[in-house]
Amino acid sequence: MTHAAYLTAAALDRRLGDPEDAGRLFSHARCAALDEREEFPVEICRELDVLGLPAHYVPAAYGGSLDSYEQVLQLMRAVARRDLTVAIAHGKTFLGAVSVWVGGSREQAEELAAAVLDGAVVSWGLTERDHGSDLLAGEVRADRTAGGYRVNGEKWLINNANRGQLICLLARTADEGGARDFSLLMIDKQRLRQPGHRPLPAVRLHGIRGADISGVAFTDAEVPADALVGAEGEGTETVLKSLQLTRILCASLSLGAADSALDLAAGFALEREAYGRRLAELPQTRRMLGESYADLLLAEAVTLVSTRSIHALTGELAVVSAVTKYVVPTLVDEVITRLGTVLGARSLLADATHRHGRFQKVQRDHRIVGIFDGNTLVNLHALINQFPLLARQLKRRTVDAAGLATATALDAPLPGFDRERLSLLPRTGSSLLQALAAGVEELTALAADGGVPESLVRRAQAVRAAADGLAVELAAHRPTPVEVPAAAFALAERYAACYAASAAIHLWLRNHAAAGEDAGPDGAGLWAEGLWLEAALARVLGRLAPGRPDPHDDVLDRLVPHLADQLRGGALPSLLHYPLVKGDA
């Protein structure tokens, strides 16, 4: 099955050349050497600039190439597959600019767009040393002056804080004791009079060693009035709406990491012999490969639907983004850990002894993705805060049918992104999860006609039963303002798991016919009779009912030959695979 966003990523991959060729600028060997020296990937980022990647961070309305968020996600996935440090270093400009796309004036957006297209690096100044994720405790101040604002204070653990020419700064502009005490300023550091600001030293990191994770200190920095993004007091709201986009796009980093880890571990298992057999033929290894591939495909399904939801179900992104930012990095962390067992000692090698030490690097680098843009607990807590609303809508099974169809049917044209539809509360809940029952009924009807196996339907019905029980527990939950019980976090995890299952079900239902017609033998086999869907649901049920025996547990083993076919064919291990660059391509 061809898909435009994947084809665009494939084109970028071809232009970057074979990463196994040490003579290429963006090669595994060069990335390993940069990591060893803890050196920023300046030349690689410059090559991505030359290839036009910054244009995909700028909405088409302002002169860029961003008209589909699923396209920029797949592009960043392709970069992250080669090296997470580069993806994080280069992609930060989108995160720094997004608040202007969400809350700025057209004049501001056009000015920023021109700067980004010209190569400007933008950072996002949210966090502070003593307050972490608690943005409402921020102490950086922006006091009004006759000509604008006087800024004082430090922002810390900021990506590209030193290298960024521009910084989108969340600062306190009032002291009323609420969210409206904060405003956003887009500050051009090159225009500040010295000593208005000074860089803070870069922080030494366990992973992404070459990234510029540092800070900036402002001392009586005079900032013009037109640096204000939106109106005074709207900073927190704009940031929260912007995070709805960035939390979903962070899935690109996780998918790229999983692509790389699976390629390394599965490739090794397919070649290595142990006890007179290929390692991949041993039952325990085969099971771990099947679990890892199923988890990757589940994460990909969630990401595909959630990214399309940016356009199609925009008003529901408060729940969509929190679920995606929890589910995808969590799954991929588990995948990488499991695959490390497959590789054994080779997973720890940090030099050219085995594949430039790529596995230990991706394992180190990915750990930070779960922290970016709100960590796991922050995102689960965001779901907990929405429990009363989510319970009502789950009980009513409210569904935006048109939006859901567009989000799940990959051949449906996406509407333009409308920032006015962003909302801090998903008033209609999650159409995707609320349509779970309808999706299961559709699968049941297909099974009656012999279109899918009964084992798939049994798994889908088990997920539905779990979701029905979830609705009751959500309604019974009583919010607590300070100490949130552990049971509430477990409930949020189950909600996210049911969302992931519904994403997989509806994605398969809306696209399996086209996948069967268009894909090659390996891709078609994944979609035929719901194979990848059944494997994904098996993994979800393992999370919903850990330790419960599965009478149909051979589905994960049946998945492995398709993984082997994709890897041996030089393709991306994916629901929508494409050829990766090999040799002199």
Can you name the residues that pair with 217 across neighbouring β-strands? Answer: 154, 198
Confidence of residue 1 (pLDDT cuts 50, 70, 90): low
Q: Which of 514, 499, 502 is nearest to 575 (CA)?
A: 514
- β 213-224/197-200 pair status: antiparallel
Tens of pLDDT, residue by residue over 408-427, are 999 999 999 999 999 999 99
C-alpha to C-alpha distance for 509 and 517, rounded to whole angstroms: 14
The pLDDT of residue 549 is 63
What pLDDT, on the 0 to 100 scale, is given for residue 523?
Answer: 46
Average of pLDDT values for 362-385?
92
Is the Cβ–Cβ distance between 541 and 456 less than 8 Å? no
186 beta partners: 168
Q: Are 128 and 139 in contact (CB under 8 A)?
A: yes
Average pLDDT over residues 133-162: 95
Taking residues 237-247, what's their average pLDDT? Answer: 98
| Domains of the chain with CATH codes | 4-119 (1.10.540.10), 123-231 (2.40.110.10), 250-568 (1.20.140.10)
Q: Encode 242-256 in three state secondary structure.
A: HHHHHHHHCHHHHHH
Helix (H) or strand (E) holding 445: helix 436-448
The structure tokens listed for 4 are 């435009």
Burial string for 216-246 (b: 16+ CB within 10 Å, else e) reads: bbbeebebeeebbbbebbbbbbbbbbbbbbb
Can you tell me the distance from the alpha carbon of 261 to that of 412, in angstroms, rounded to the nearest whole number?
A: 32
Model confidence over 428-482: pLDDT tens digits? 999 999 999 999 999 999 999 999 999 999 999 999 999 998 988 998 998 877 7
pLDDT at 224: 96
CA atoms within 13 A on the CB side of 158: 31
How far is it, in rounded angstroms, from Cα 281 to Cα 142? 63
User: What is the structure's pLDDT at 353?
Assistant: 67
What mean pLDDT do residues 342-347 have?
A: 88
Q: How much is the pLDDT for 551?
A: 56
Instruction: Name the pLDDT band for 584 (thresholds 50, 70, 90).
Output: very low
The pLDDT value recorded for residue 524 is 59
Q: How confident is the model at residue 118 (pLDDT cuts 50, 70, 90)?
A: very high
pTM of the model: 0.96
- Give SS3 for 163: coil
Mean pLDDT score across all residues of the chain: 93
Residue type, 419: R
Residue type, 172: R
Tens digits of residue pLDDT in 518-530: 444 444 589 999 9
> Which whole number is the average pLDDT over 349-367?
86
The secondary element (H helix, E strand) that includes residue 222 is strand 213-224
Q: DSSP characters for 167-191?
A: EEEEEE---SSSGGGEEEEEEEGGG
